[in-house]
Structure 1
Amino acid sequence: MFMPETVCQQAIERVMTYLRDDGVELDAETCRQVLRLVDSAMKDGGGLDLPARCIELVPDYFNLPGMDIPAPIPPLMRGHLGYYPHD
């Protein structure tokens, strides 16, 4: 018989996936830190929004790699097409 996942399992999976996708190594210490994070979020109250609350807590528990967002190329500049004779 299939048993649906509990909300805490969903929260753990969501945080682990978030960290993996962000380039964090999923070692034993990371797993323990994820469990502490989920435990802390559960102390604040359970419920269906637990996974979302856990994701909000990730920056408090982990040093995530910085995001390097490239500048838009070419640089945005205001201009016009120069319609004759109005330019």
Structure 2
Amino acid sequence: MPEILCRQALERVLTYLDDDGVVLTADACRRALRLVETSLAQGAGPDLPARCINRIPDYFERPHEPIPSANPPLKRGHIGYD
């Protein structure tokens, strides 16, 4: 069972990183493996994939994309409630 959790954790980490725009180079994959290995050393419980995802900021600097401004600008209003 631990091998299935390990595989699941690594797949989730790599998928998360890929979806977040991190380029999956050989170095990035090695860091992902170290992340899973470190988390696995703390126990192979069913929460392993979640623990790995929570530790991603410790191992990876994720791209920052600013949120664009609303266009046209938002204006506050009300619909007449008192």
- If the TM-score is normalised by the length of the shorter chain, which range does it land in? 0.7 to 0.9
Q: Give the total of aligned pairs.
A: 78
The question of 1:14 aligning with 2:9 is answered no
Gaps spanning 5+ residues in structure 1: where? Answer: 83-87
Structure number with the bigger relative contact order (C-alpha 8 A, sep ≥ 6) is 2
Any runs of at least 4 consecutive aligned residues in structure 1 with deviations exceeding 4 A, and if so which?
none
State the identity %.
58
TM-superposition CA deviations, 1:54-82 (whole Å, max 9, x none)? 01000100010013222333433332468
Answer with 1 or 2: which has the greater Rg.
1
Q: For residue 57 of structure 2, what is the aligned residue in structure 1?
A: 59
Gaps spanning 5+ residues in structure 2: where? Answer: none
**TM-score, normalization by structure 2:** 0.80
CA distance, structure 2, for counterparts of residue 81 and residue 46 of structure 1: 54
CA RMSD across the alignment: 1.9
Q: For residue 41 of structure 1, what is the aligned residue in structure 2?
A: 39
